[in-house]
Amino acid sequence: MAYTFQFRDVFAQRDAIVDGLVLTLELSAGVIALGFAIGVMVAAVLVYGKPWARRIAAGYVEVIRNTPLLVQLFLIFFGLPSLGLKLDVITASVLALTINLGAYTAEIVRAGFESIPKSQIEAGISLGLTGPQVFRHVVLLPALRNVYPSLTSQFVLMMLATSVVSQISAAELFHAGSIIQSRTFRDFEVYTVIAVLYLGLSLLLRMGFSVCYRLFFRR
């Protein structure tokens, strides 16, 4: 059966694709920044916190990592209004994605913290460094260097996972593609374009993270 490819109808609605692409980038940047901050704090609690705090942090990580992101998103967007807390689409999307990324980041960073020898920490203290200085220079930076490939891979996966928020009608890239498909019925062409754009975003992110590695860790 012959099939005639017609990308013209898809590119005719490039404004919608660009808007979706911009929102995907904004979501990704915000979620990565917030999720990284939460992940570092939770990882620090898991490794250095008091027993009761470690149990809470471990519970958060286990619950999030063992339930689907889509369920977490629906629970926040559709479930919280039952408790009197209604969030708009973007806020719910950022909250769900951030909570999810924070848990995965915490496990990755925790492994990095545990890779730092205790003798190295003791050496920093013996040199007169304060607690925050030891954490920053002796623990945090070397730990992040050790887990950097895994950490940045998780960030790229989260960028791709932003497509999930299309299920609550967040107008990101995948949602834009779905709308165009419903108008043009050019399924193959639409989703080929969307796939290529996601691939391009992934490669750009990896390049950016590679530059960051050279700036912060190769010194």
In this predicted model, what pLDDT tens digit does every residue of 2-49 receive, in sequence order? 777 888 888 899 999 999 999 999 999 999 999 999 999 999 999 999
Among 43-47, 60-64, 114-118, 191-195, the range scoring the smallest mean pLDDT is 114-118
Query: Which residue has better confidence, 199 or 11?
Result: 199
- pTM for the complete prediction? 0.93
In the numeric block, the tokens 């062409």 are attached to 189
pLDDT for 1 beyond 90:
no
pLDDT category at 219 given cuts 50, 70, 90 is low
The CATH-assigned architecture of domain 9-216 is Orthogonal Bundle (1.10)
CA–centroid distance for 113 within its chain = 20
Rounded to whole angstroms, how far apart are CA atoms 37 and 135?
A: 15
| Position 90, amino acid | I
